[in-house]
Amino acid sequence: MADTFDATTHWDALRERMEKGGPREVARYVLEFQPDERKALFSFAQKSFARKEWLGKSFDGLIDVVQSGIDDALTLANQSTDPEKAWKWTEHANILAFNLSADLCECWPGDDVPRERTHFETGLRLAEKCVRWRRELGKPPERRALAYWAVGMHHLSLGHPHEALGAWVTASGLAVADREAAGIPHRVEPGGDFAVILYAGYVGLARIATGDAAGREAYEAACMAFEETIARFPDKKEDAQFGLEQLRWVQTKRLATATS
């Protein structure tokens, strides 16, 4: 049954329960299904409540629904006597947590939805869990780097520039190590690796936030690498545009005065 289960057909039911009864009613509805179906439904709910419109839309409602999915996945992982199934349920919790943490970041170009301090604190807590889970799950460096990136973004939003710097230096180091192991060039240059350039730019932003004047050079070097990539490498243009817009968005929202 799980192979043919289509979570997308449940949007109206999920939305109606959220609007009339709140996150608890959504969770109650999902938890009536079988485990694999719940997995699909919680994943779909996370994406849908984050991106679709619904009456009373808020980060708080999204957080509560996704947290129910994380709790359910961890319960199933702890109850499983099969190591492979336990791994898969922990992985599901990791994915839900990271996606929610990313939704709560204030780094997405054009996203001006107000976030409160509690949202950044929740995003940080989830990202820190992802750091631990991805290490325990044996994830490759690039996936672990993403978790550290989220840790750094929430620290910056919370006014913790030194902690953000530490997280982004780690993310940058993991990205470089991953590319070195694969024999891929890892310099900040036009046409270079997306993650290497992006994390270098974030490190520059964090250094600026700590008062280190050298940070501006690193930030501008990353932006220039993306700009030249857009102009000269058509196959990498879309990713480079996204990276450039992301760095500029964070700079505008958090560091406009420091970089002007």
pLDDT in tens, 120-176: 999 999 999 999 999 999 999 999 999 999 999 999 999 999 999 999 999 999 999
% of residues, the chain, pLDDT over 70: 97
Q: Are residues 81 and 15 in the same domain?
A: yes
pLDDT at residue 32 tops 70:
yes
Q: Are residues 12 and 99 in the same domain?
A: yes
Q: At what angle do helices 59-79 and 23-30 cross, to 10 degrees?
A: 30
% of residues, the chain, pLDDT over 90: 92
Residue 259 forms part of a structural domain: no
Identify the band that residue 257 occupies on the pLDDT scale cut at 50, 70 and 90. low
Number of domains the chain contains: 2
Task: State the residue range of the domain holding 85.
Answer: 1-104
Residue 115 forms part of a structural domain: no
pLDDT at 259: 47
Residue 73 forms part of a structural domain: yes
pLDDT at 256: 67
Output the CA–CA distances (angstroms, integers) from residue 210 to 79, 159, 161, 230, in the order listed. 45, 10, 6, 30
- Beta-carbon contacts of 109 under 8 Å, excluding residues fewer than 6 positions away, are 242, 245, 246, 248, 249
Q: Are residues 178 and 224 in the same domain?
A: yes
pLDDT at 182: 86
Residue 163 forms part of a structural domain: yes
pLDDT at residue 260 tops 50:
no
What is the rounded average pLDDT of the residues 20-24?
98
What is the rounded average pLDDT of the residues 57-78?
98
Residue 111 forms part of a structural domain: no
Question: How confident is the prediction for the chain on average, in pLDDT?
Answer: 95
What is the rounded average pLDDT of the residues 221-248?
98
